[in-house]
């Protein structure tokens, strides 16, 4: 499916909203920051999918990346949590109201440094939410120190070289149990848009690691998260197109060049394989391919792993139709009579 970039303001989507209804405040991030490009793609994806902004909850931690929910979907609910603790807030919110669509925006520091413990438990629960890491390899907000996703040998502007191995958040998410794991690049509009729309249609945890250069502290020669490095080393594993469930599925694909994957809401993803043998439903193969890429200094992008059939955390809790947060007190707390009877037992 063709991907549009910020459709003209006069047009409206299938629920009658214009793209302006999906915008937020004016960005205060540096001009050229990859995070701004990701906000634009999020605006496009939610507009094109016709999601009601009031039906969305945006969550984040602390960092330049975590500020970005302010710059898209101003009409959605929003909560800016403590550094690295967004997963706990997301889990609580989703259990209280499982009818909302949750999108979390975090940074590589917020996720893989201070937030590592919370991130690990979110991935293993398969909570239905889209978790985006805006990954620049540094703590942008506090002036560019290395984060845990910085590659061995990458250099800061000051000349300091990183000697610690990087955490591969995608490999970790697959290992821990996330059911939609992908990597993209903020400068790759087509791929990032298709992945975001497929992420909206997925029922389970989506981990989307987006390489997002920090133009102020990590975009120089020697950085492995710079625009130039990404242009030279990005290795897409397939060409992705996405057809939402509300569109007539009449797209014809060339036989034998790719695979079709159905998502839980009936949307379809078509992957044209650039690598003959890559199948994103094979978990072991995804982990192997990521390890091989790391050994070759390739930045692999695309959809690495998808399991559209796994039970989500909300399915496992069997929460029923009505969100807990909207139930009246008579249903959520014992009556006075029952409480009095319990108290009587302790006399």
Ligand X SMILES: Cc1ncc(C[n+]2csc(CCOP(=O)(O)OP(=O)(O)O)c2C)c(N)n1
Cβ(264)–Cβ(203) below 8 Å:
yes
Instruction: Assess contact for 203 and 308: CB atoms under 8 A.
Output: yes
Q: Which stretch binds ligand SF4 (CB under 6 A): 16-24, 210-218, 229-237, 322-330?
A: 210-218
- Residue 154 is a binding residue for Mg ion (CB under 5 A): no
CB atoms within 10 A of CB 92: 12
Q: 83 touches which of ligand X, Mg ion, ligand SF4, none (CB within 5 to 8 A by kind)? A: ligand X
Interaction pattern, residues 101-130, with Mg ion; x per rule: CB under 5 A: ------xxx---------------------
Does residue 147 touch ligand X according to CB under 6 A? yes
User: Between helices 169-176 and 116-125, what is the axis angle to 10°?
Assistant: 40
The CA distance from 205 to 131, in Å, is 7
Closest by CA position to 116, among listed 90, 146, 144, 148:
148
- Binding segment toward ligand X, per CB under 6 A, in 11-19, 132-140, 153-161, 328-336: 132-140
Nearest approach in angstroms of CB 94 to ligand X is 22
| Phi, psi values for residue 9, rounded to 5° | -60, -30
Minimal distance in Å, beta carbon 143 to Mg ion?
Answer: 11
What phi-psi label fits residue 7: left (phi over 0), alpha (psi between -120 and 50 degrees) or beta? beta
With CB under 6 A as the contact rule, the residue among 3, 17, 21, 29 that binds ligand SF4 is 29
- Residue 236 binding Mg ion, by CB under 5 A: no
Contact 180, 299 (CB under 8 A): no
27 binds, among ligand SF4, ligand X, Mg ion, none (CB under 5 to 8 A by kind): none
Applying CB under 5 A, which of residues 68, 91, 136, 241 lies at the interface with Mg ion? 136
Indicate which of Mg ion, ligand SF4, ligand X, none lies near residue 237 (CB less than 5 to 8 Å, by partner kind).
Answer: none
Which run of H or of E encompasses 78? strand 77-80
Does 136 sit near ligand SF4 (CB under 6 A)?
A: yes
Q: CB 40 → ligand SF4: shortest distance, Å?
A: 14
Tell the smallest beta-carbon distance from residue 109 to Mg ion (Å): 5
19 DSSP 8-state letter = G
**DSSP label at 113?**
I
Tell the residue number behind the tokens 């050229």, with chain if given.
Answer: 32
Least Å from the CB of residue 105 to Mg ion: 12
Interface with ligand X (CB under 6 A), residue from 38, 89, 132, 141: 141
Span 47-86, contacts to ligand SF4 by CB under 6 A:
64
- Interaction pattern, residues 58-77, with ligand X; x per rule: CB under 6 A: ----xxxx------------
Residue nearest to ligand SF4 (CB): 140
The first and second tokens of residue 47, run together, are 């507009």
Judged by CB under 6 A, the chain residues 290 through 319 that form the site for ligand X are none
Distance CA 342, CA 340 (A): 5
Q: Using CA atoms, how far apart are residues 104 and 191, in angstroms rounded to an integer?
A: 19
Tokens coding 92:
């609580």
**Rg (Cα) of the chain, in Å, rounded?**
21
Query: Minimum distance from CB of 36 to Mg ion (Å)?
Result: 14
Residue from 59, 174, 192, 214 in contact with ligand SF4 (CB under 6 A): 214
**What is the rounded distance in angstroms from the CA atom of residue 103 to the CA atom of residue 278?**
28
CA distance linking residue 128 with residue 101, whole number of Å: 8
Residues 118 and 88 sit within 8 Å (Cβ to Cβ): yes
**Residues lying near ligand SF4 in the complex (CB under 6 A):** 29-30, 33, 35, 64, 136, 140-141, 214-217
Q: Which stretches of the chain bind ligand X, using CB under 6 A? A: 62-65, 83, 107-110, 114, 134, 136, 138-142, 147, 214
Binding site residues, Mg ion, CB under 5 A:
107-109, 136, 140
């Amino acid at each position: 499916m063709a991907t549009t970039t910020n459709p003209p303001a006069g047009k409206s989507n299938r629920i009658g909203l214009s793209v302006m209804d999906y915008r937020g405040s004016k960005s205060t991030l540096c001009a050229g920051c990859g995070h701004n490009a990701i906000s634009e793609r999020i605006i496009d994806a939610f507009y094109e999918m016709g999601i009601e902004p009031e039906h969305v909850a945006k969550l984040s931690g602390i960092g330049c990346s975590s500020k970005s929910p302010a710059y898209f979907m101003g009409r959605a609910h929003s909560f800016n949590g403590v550094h690295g603790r967004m997963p706990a807030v997301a889990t609580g919110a989703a259990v209280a109201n499982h009818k909302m669509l949750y999108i979390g925006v975090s940074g590589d520091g917020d996720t893989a440094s201070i937030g590592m413990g919370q991130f690990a438990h979110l991935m293993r629960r398969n909570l239905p939410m889209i978790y985006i890491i805006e990954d620049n390899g540094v703590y942008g907000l506090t002036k560019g120190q290395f984060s845990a996703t910085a590659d061995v040998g990458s250099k800061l502007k000051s000349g300091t070289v990183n000697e610690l191995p990087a955490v591969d958040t995608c490999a970790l998410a697959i290992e821990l149990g996330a059911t939609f794991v992908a990597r993209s690049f903020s400068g790759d509009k087509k791929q990032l848009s298709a992945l975001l729309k497929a992420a909206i249609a997925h029922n389970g945890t989506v981990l989307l690691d987006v390489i997002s250069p920090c133009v102020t502290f990590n975009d120089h020669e020697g950085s492995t998260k710079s625009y130039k490095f990404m242009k030279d080393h990005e290795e897409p594993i397939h060409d992705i197109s996405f057809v939402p469930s509300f569109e007539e599925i009449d797209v014809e694909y060339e036989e034998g060049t790719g695979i079709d994957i159905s998502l839980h809401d009936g949307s379809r993803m078509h992957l044209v394989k650039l690598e003959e043998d890559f199948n994103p439903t094979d978990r072991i193969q995804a982990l192997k391919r990521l390890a091989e890429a790391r050994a070759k200094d390739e930045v692999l992008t695309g959809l690495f792993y998808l399991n559209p059939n796994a039970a989500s955390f909300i399915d496992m809790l069997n929460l029923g139709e009505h969100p807990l947060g909207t139930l009246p007190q008579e249903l959520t707390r014992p009556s006075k009579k029952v409480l009095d009877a319990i108290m009587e037992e302790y006399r």
